[in-house]
A and B are shown apart, each in its own frame.
Chain A
Amino acid sequence: MLDQYGLIGVLAIIAFLFPFVGVGIAWMLRPKRPDPIKKSTYECGIETIGDAWVQFRAQYYLIALIFVIFDIEVIFLFPFAVAFEQVGLFAVFEAILFVVILAGGLIYAWKKNALEWQ
């Protein structure tokens, strides 16, 4: 177990340090002359009106909600797919039922126009 994940652990540290070291070297080389104009928000030339962190449309929230449901479905189906040879017919029917129920949810969302991008 540790044999297999040891490399991933070490790689995680190295992969995390690599961009940081790069930015560190750049920090030593680059010029540092900030001024208010430079630091202002990049837009069309006039200043941004109001806060940049505005309210976002409910559409994104709906999409994220449907995403969570289906992503969890996929995560449940992966172990099922690996154990497919060993499981009996009953488990296959159960998995099909699982997918069909979620497909029903997709159809419901579709009919409720949650998938329309207005």
Chain B
Amino acid sequence: MNIDLRVIGEAFHQFLINIGLTSGQASLIDWIFGALILLVIFIVLAILLIWFERKLAGRVQDRLGPNRVGPFGLIQPIADTLKLFTKEDITPAGADRITFNLAPTLAVFSIVMAFAVIPFADKVIGTDINVGVVYLMAFASVSSMSLLMAGWASNNKYALLGGFRVVAQLMSYEIPMAFAMLLPVLLAGTMRMNGLVEAQGQFFGLGWNIWIMPAAFIIYLTTALAEGERAPFDLLEAESEIVAGYNIEYSGLKFAWFYLAFFMNTWVLSAVATTLFLGGWQGPFVSQVPALGVVYFLGKTIIMFVIFAWIRATFPRLRIDQMMSFCWKVLVPMVLVLFLLTAIILKLGLPTIAVWLLILLSNVAVFVIALWLLGKGLEKSKWASKRLFTPEIPRL
């Protein structure tokens, strides 16, 4: 088992050169194979995760979830996809046809592209570019762009409202998210995804960023819920308010692409949380058996995914003014203060342990002060609604 997984790729490259290709042609074939492998991982994960989340949400809500097609309903996502292939595709009259058809494609495109920089294990990564974090942010923006395009092109007022909410929600929450991603980069001094994981490998798991900067992790988690359009932040596809938001006019496979992008976006956000805060593929014995890294990475990512699915299945929806105020008045000041404190602490020139403890202290302090101020503000503002009607509890 003690093999470097990269060796397989190099052996394949050497094999291509041995059968008489030039180095350039061999590289091209390498890339095509790599890209196809990433696409296959994407599809397999999508099928499994859609089944998994539906089953989990079913259990949370005291239902069985999918259980008819195949063992435990495992083939349900495939059956759904086949059904959607044969459904009529309706383009509403007056829609902006090019934008309307391009939007679902871009939604899937942006999520598949994010897979290129996700480190599944040591050196098992599509490509370890030195701007990995910024690359992820860039494609997250493409993703919100596609939703805005869908809302705009549908020629439907509900869809347009959904599109506007994309602007309000996804763009606002991108700011605290980017800052929360900046803090591990500041500590590690690199934007390479693998470099960020390697930087967390010290002290047997105590070097994970979740222990050093818990407030940043919680902010990332909150913004990831908003970026993944999940309850309690699923205002842009609020069924009870704007029917389904941007995807109201989509049917057939184009709707399926939005659904797929929605699910895989959550997976990518979990994977990024794992990489930045939970130590990625780090774990016991990973230096002896590199293949274990895949197990650790997938395990941690699935734990994150379960947290997201759990929150989605249990929480009610926020109001849009509460959501926007929470972003700009709580999260953004918090991350700005956290960034300043972390930068100052890192420049003091202290030993590693002292730096970590100070960052931990500053995180806890910022978190507690923010909660205290939030409570103060809520007391004063109109949000705090006393119960107008107190039901009488019958005495038994």
Contact = CB atoms under 8 A, between A and B. Distances in A.
Contacts of B321: 116-117
Interface in B305-323: 320-321
Task: Tell me what chain B mostly uses at the interface: helix, strand, loop, or mixed.
Answer: helix
B347 interface: yes
Interface stretch (B33-41, B50-58, B68-76, B353-361): B33-41
Given A19-B104, A95-B343, A64 B92 contact: no
Nearest to A87: B347
Nearest to A114: B328
B99 interface: no
Contacts of A78: 133-134, 182, 185, 191
B167 interface: yes
A106 to B, nearest CB: 6
A10 B2 CA distance: 31
B156 A42 contact: yes
Contacts of A29: 85-86
Given A16-B105, A26-B89, A60 B156 contact: no
Contacts of A52: 94, 154-157, 159-160
Interface residues of B, number: 82
Interface in B10-34: 27-28, 30-32, 34
Contacts, number: 217
A82 B113 CA distance: 23
A6 B332 contact: no
A84 B115 CA distance: 28
A97 B351 CA distance: 26
B164 interface: yes
Contacts of A25: 85
Nearest to B89: A30
Interface in B261-314: none
A9 to B, nearest CB: 8
Nearest to A57: B164
Contact of B167 (A39, A64, A70, A103): A64
A117 B113 contact: no
B27 A6 contact: yes
Contacts of A6: 27-28, 31, 127
B39 A15 contact: yes
B249 interface: yes
B39 A84 contact: no
A109 to B, nearest CB: 8
Contacts of B104: 19, 23
A20 B253 CA distance: 10
Interface string A59-75: 11001101100110011
Nearest to A36: B93
Given A4-B129, A30-B89, A15 B113 contact: yes
A10 B32 contact: yes
Interface stretch (B171-179, B209-217, B367-375): B171-179
Given A77-B182, A92-B347, 8 more contacts: A4-B129, A7-B34, A8-B126, A11-B126, A13-B35, A41-B155, A67-B171, A115-B324
- A-B pairs, 10 with minimum CB distance: A117-B321, A15-B112, A11-B35, A26-B253, A10-B31, A74-B178, A81-B186, A19-B105, A39-B93, A67-B171
Interface of B: 27-28, 30-32, 34-36, 38-39, 84-94, 101, 104-105, 108-109, 112-113, 115-116, 126-129, 133-134, 137, 152, 154-160, 164, 167-168, 171-172, 174-175, 178-179, 182, 185-186, 189-191, 243, 248-249, 252-254, 257, 320-321, 324-325, 328-329, 332-333, 336, 339-340, 343-344, 346-347
19 contacts: A4-B128, A5-B129, A7-B126, A10-B35, A14-B32, A15-B113, A26-B86, A26-B253, A30-B88, A30-B89, A41-B155, A41-B249, A43-B158, A48-B157, A67-B175, A81-B182, A96-B344, A99-B340, A116-B325
